[in-house]
Amino acid sequence: MEIWLEKKDCTGCGVCMNICPKNAIEMIEDDCGFKYPHINKEKCINCGLCKKTCPIVEKAINERFNEPKVFAGWSKNKETRYTSTSGGIFTELAKQFIEKDGFVVGASYNKENLVEHKIVTNLEDLNDLKQSKYLQSDTKFVYKETKEYLNLGKPIAFCGSPCQIAGLYKYLKKDYDNLLTIEFICRGMNSPKAYKAWISEIEKKENKKIKKVWFKYKTNGWKASPKCTRIDFEDSSFKVYNGKDNLYMSGYLGPNLYIRRSCGDCHFNSLPRQADITLADFWGINKDLDDDKGTSLILINSKKGMDYFNNIKDNITCEERDINEIYKGNVCFNKSVKINKKSEEFLINLNDNNFSTMVVKYSKVPFKDKVYNTLRKVKNKCVRIYEKKK
């Protein structure tokens, strides 16, 4: 049965599946590898709860600062900082929940190396949530489970993309004192189908099984990390894919080849933000706060967010910054990415073609676009020089 949304708007947050009182909704993968809700007509009682709870139809209203407080910072724990995507602030925030006998919810790899949300209850398992995984996470029934624990009074930190946080609040119908939400500035969610094609190609070539994918590996520094991925194999060896050899991140960061359609018009990337705290990389931060080991951008969006942030101040190095500093380095703070026009064709054609060959083929920039881009860069440079001289 058709869903109420156009496909281009559905983020796949999965809240409708969680809220359905008759279990009539299932999230099913389409030809491009993204999950969408499907309604079983036999089970559906037309209660309308799925539509009412959809964060695209209507957002939940929470008290959020219109002008968030902005900090640049990192964890003082060197290991945490090195093994985290940015400055390790997520782990520092999350640790206080485990220490208070609470739970942390976030995205983790499963046995097939795909990503799904799970609830962790101890410091060892918290490591599974650490690090960005650049593909869409399957939220399964995590909103339902989170609500059950919140109602039991458990302190919970829930981390996800802005659309997942928006979904969580619609599901909960209210804010809870024992809940802290953490989101990140999101460039867009990649198709698990593209990621699966990439890792299975590596497994075939290397003739061994992958144990873990470590995106944004900082061996060459934080600024070089977006295109540096470490793959750990089950035989304890590892391989680093860097720069042009890192075809998965090349297809994501440049041509936006496998990003979900709804991310091209994100409904959740404006102020006020969705979560109590927003994390990101502080790209473009001045040299004093950039030792190339990872500097987090921390946006405090609510009083509760400020309280939890104050609790970790002894464990981090941080400095308050101006909100205008975000825009120059982090375009996705308030803008959606432009999805590649051939994205759907690429993902469908993956069925019969090799991932690497396809990424190289679809990433080629036509000559006229190359000329246009160069002219645009020269023009922007001239404008900057002119404005500096003025």
Ligand X SMILES: Cc1cc2nc3c(=O)[nH]c(=O)nc-3n(C[C@H](O)[C@H](O)[C@H](O)COP(=O)(O)OP(=O)(O)OC[C@H]3O[C@@H](n4cnc5c(N)ncnc54)[C@H](O)[C@@H]3O)c2cc1C
Burial of 338 (0-12, 13-18, 19+ CB in 10 A): exposed
| Residue 273 beta carbon to ligand X: minimum distance, rounded to whole angstroms | 13
User: Judged by CB under 6 A, does residue 279 bind ligand X?
Assistant: yes
Residue in 213, 280, 299, 359 binding ligand X, rule: CB under 6 A = 280
Q: Which is nearer to ligand X, 176 or 222 (CB)?
A: 222
User: Judged by CB under 6 A, does residue 12 bind ligand X?
Assistant: no
User: Judged by CB under 6 A, does residue 87 bind ligand X?
Assistant: yes
Pattern 42-81, ligand X, x by CB under 6 A: ----------------------------------------
Count of residues engaged in binding ligand X, rule: CB under 6 A: 33
For 44, other C-beta atoms within 10 Å of its C-beta total: 14
376 contacts 384 by C-beta, under 8 angstroms = no
User: Judged by CB under 6 A, does residue 260 bind ligand X?
Assistant: no
20 contacts 41 by C-beta, under 8 angstroms = no
Q: Pairing state of beta strands 115-120 and 179-184?
A: unpaired
Q: Which is nearer to ligand X, 39 or 137 (CB)?
A: 137
Instruction: Restricting to residues 111-170, name those near ligand X by CB under 6 A.
Output: 115, 129-135, 137, 159-161
Calculate the alpha carbon distances from 125 to 77, 106, 107, 387 in Å.
18, 11, 11, 51
Q: Which is nearer to ligand X, 187 or 227 (CB)?
A: 187
Q: Which is nearer to ligand X, 108 or 302 (CB)?
A: 108
Instruction: Restricting to residues 300-339, name those near ligand X by CB under 6 A.
Output: 330, 332
Calculate the alpha carbon distances from 28 to 23, 210, 239 in Å.
14, 26, 33
| Residue 254 beta carbon to ligand X: minimum distance, rounded to whole angstroms | 13
User: Judged by CB under 6 A, does residue 187 bind ligand X?
Assistant: yes
The CB-nearest residue to ligand X is 106
Q: Which is nearer to ligand X, 39 or 105 (CB)?
A: 105
Q: Which is nearer to ligand X, 24 or 283 (CB)?
A: 283
Can you tell me whether residue 320 is helix, strand or coil?
A: strand
Task: Give residue for tokens 């999350």.
Answer: 94
**Residue 139 structure tokens:** 């939220």
Q: Which is nearer to ligand X, 17 or 107 (CB)?
A: 107
Calculate the alpha carbon distances from 40 to 11, 28, 263 in Å.
20, 12, 27
Can you tell me whether residue 319 is helix, strand or coil?
A: strand
Residue in 16, 102, 150, 281 binding ligand X, rule: CB under 6 A = 281
- Alpha-helical regions (H) of the chain: 15-19, 49-53, 78-83, 89-99, 123-129, 142-151, 162-172, 192-206, 247-253, 303-311, 324-329, 343-349, 355-363, 367-389
**Contact footprint for ligand X (CB under 6 A):** 84-91, 106-107, 115, 129-135, 137, 159-161, 184-187, 189, 279-281, 296, 330, 332
